Amino acid sequence: MNVYECLRSRRTVRQFSDRKVPNDVLEKILNAARWAPSSRNQQPWELIVVTKKSTLHEMGEIASTGSFIAEAPIAIAVLMKNADQPGMDAGRALQQMEIMAWSEGLGTCFVTLTERQRQLVSNLLRIPEGIDLITVLPFGFRSDDFQSRGTPRKPLSEMVYREIFGSR
């Protein structure tokens, strides 16, 4: 799948098959994060790969908007340490992992955590003070009943200006 097609076709996945994620595919996803650009090339990422079912279930119970973590074969906790631009740098790594996973037939869904949920997951994963948990990304092959419904997108004419704001 070429990059353009991958970007155009990628969808959020919350239902996963039972199929195990091969180590070589996991390594590609992890390398996609490692290769992401970062502010001043700080590379502030720390990643925790979780495959233990009991931990996945517990994270799924903690994350009110991410109960599907419990059904994923793996999850990757994305942490940031001493980052100048933690949101931007994390977002770049997350997007690259998502796109790499999609190109390999896997899906994911960014899980939003409240501050309390972030603390509970941090405790569960024994994340030390001073290292911030950004999110948990569950990964897995799309379930057999997954239907890739296109999500409506605004046309470029509604979001792109030429030279100055308001100039179409």
Q: How confident is the model at residue 6 (pLDDT cuts 50, 70, 90)?
A: confident
pLDDT for 145 equals 72
pLDDT tens, position by position, 142-154: 877 766 667 788 9
> What topology does CATH give the domain 13-142?
NADH Oxidase (3.40.109)
Domain parsing of the chain, residue ranges: 13-142
pLDDT at 146 (0 to 100): 67
Q: What is the mean pLDDT of the chain?
A: 93
Question: Distance between CA atoms of 44 and 80, rounded to whole angstroms?
Answer: 5
Span of 29-33, 83-87, 113-117 with lowest mean pLDDT: 83-87
User: For residue 48, is pLDDT > 80?
Assistant: yes
pLDDT at 140 over 70: yes
Q: Over pLDDT 90: what percentage of the chain?
A: 79
Q: Is the pLDDT of residue 18 over 80?
A: yes
Q: 32-46 pLDDT, tens per residue? A: 999 999 999 999 999
Least-confidence region, from 6-15, 60-69, 85-94, 117-126: 6-15
Query: CA torsion, points 139, 140, 141, 143, in degrees to nearest 10?
Result: -110
Is residue 16 pLDDT above 90, yes or no?
Answer: yes
